[in-house]
Amino acid sequence: MRKVLGYKVRHTETKLFLSSVSRGKWTNIGKTWPRKGDAVRAINNGLKRLRDTSRKGREYDNVLEDLPLWEFVELEETLSYSALFLLDKIKT
């Protein structure tokens, strides 16, 4: 059974994950959204905030040029097992 745990946005060149669009923040861990629509909404709201802030007009243009290099990463559960299994492995 395939279970999606969340979504992240990754930059294809830097391999960093998006943390905040409006602040232009990319980190090794990034932000995880529970649904893909939440990630899209966060990106749209961040772009609106950048566009509406007059002093960041140049940053808005830079983000739009950089947008094709972004990709959605789907986090899914591939394997799950009891914690006792790991604890037993550590003992031996």
The string of pLDDT tens digits covering residues 7-37 is: 999 999 999 999 999 888 999 999 999 999 9
Question: pTM of the prediction?
Answer: 0.79
> Domain count of the chain?
1
Question: Helices 36-52 and 57-66 meet at what angle, rounded to 10?
Answer: 140
Could you report the per-residue pLDDT of 33-59, keeping only the tens digit for each? 999 999 999 999 999 988 888 666 688
Domain assignment of residue 64, given as a range: 3-91
Mean pLDDT of all residues in 67-80: 90
Element (H, E) at 26: strand 25-27
On the question of pLDDT at 75 being above 90, the answer is: yes
Element (H, E) at 5: strand 3-11
On the question of pLDDT at 69 being above 90, the answer is: yes
